[in-house]
Amino acid sequence: MAAPMHRCWTRLRSLTLAWPAAGYHARPRVWGVGGVYKPDPNDPKTKEWQKGPAYEAKLYGRHGAASGVNPAQLWPSPERLQQLEAEEKEWYPSLQEMLDRVEAKERELQKAKEEKERIVAANLAKMPQMVADWRREKRELRMKQREEKERRERLLAQAREKFGLHVDYRSPKFQEMVKELEKQEKKRKKLLKRQMREEAAAGVSAAASGPATEGAS
């Protein structure tokens, strides 16, 4: 009975395994005091995450004094403690700080809203004047266009009287005549403005001398 079972087991093992047994032998763990596994930091085969104070803190948190770790070494230095406090203050603000930030943001949004409403109200208040200015500019533009049209027609009529019916407005003679008439028109307007200023000044001086004469009488 035992022989057939042995032959069956041998045949089954030869079918499932290409060789009789594995050649791997795991390195035995180094157990410290109290049965706690503590890797040797000087061993080059020790992983990096199993070195340093972070892993020692993990061992002490799991096994306590049985880990053989001195808890005084786990406390951060003053410089590291200040750094941790700064990081905590930056990334984990207090409730009051978060409320202050929310209130400041709400005040900023409210201020921006009030400023926008003020600008809209000011623009609405200016709207009638803006419409009136636009209409006035349109009237002035139409007036200028009409005056320019009348001026061209007048110049063309004068050119026809001088050069005949068939006048080319692009001819040098026509251009020279236009320049001469424009000079005369500028002189006439300048003289008219001077006369108006002189008449206004004479009226002011007459009005000023009138009360003085009455007072003297």
**Side chain identity at residue 108, one-letter code:** E
- pLDDT at position 170 is 72
Residue 149: count of CB within 10 angstroms of its CB: 10
Q: Three-class SS string for 39-56? A: CCCCCCCCCHHHCCHHHH
Residues of the chain with pLDDT > 70, as a percent, come to: 75
46 has pLDDT over 60: yes
Distance in angstroms (rounded) separating the CA atoms of residues 89 and 104: 18
Tell me the residue type at 84.
L
206/196 Cα distance (integer angstroms): 15
At residue 40, φ and ψ (nearest 5 deg) are: -80, 115
- The distance of Cα 184 from the centroid of its chain, to the nearest Å, equals 58
Query: Would the pLDDT of 211 be above 60?
Result: no
Residue 31 pairs in a beta bridge with 37
Query: How is residue 67 annotated by DSSP?
Result: G
pLDDT 10s digits, 141-169: 999 999 888 877 877 777 777 766 566 66
**pLDDT tier at 109, thresholds 50, 70, 90:** very high
Number of residues in the chain: 217
Helix axes 172-216, 95-163, angle to 10 degrees: 110
Nearest to 60 by CA among 45, 75, 47: 75
Q: Is 145 exposed, middle or buried (0-12, 13-18, 19+ CB in 10 A)?
A: exposed
Cα–Cα–Cα angle for 128, 133, 138, nearest 5°?
A: 125
Query: In the structure, what pLDDT confidence band is assigned to residue 59 with cuts at 50, 70 and 90?
Result: confident
Can you state the percent helix, strand and coil of the chain, rounding each to 5?
75, 0, 25
Q: What is the mean pLDDT of residues 56-83?
A: 84
Question: Who wins on pLDDT, 34 or 52?
Answer: 52
End-to-end CA distance of the chain: 166
> What is the share, in percent, of the chain residues with pLDDT greater than 90?
17
| Residue 165 pLDDT | 54
Give me the pLDDT at residue 69, please. 83
Mean pLDDT of 183-198: 85
Is residue 22's pLDDT more than 60? no
E strands along the chain, which residues? none
Alpha carbon distance 187, 182 (integer Å): 9
Residue 207 CA: distances (Å) to CA of 3, 70, 78, 106, 196: 151, 110, 92, 65, 16
Question: Looking at residue 14, what is its pLDDT?
Answer: 58
Is the pLDDT at 117 greater than 90? The verdict is yes
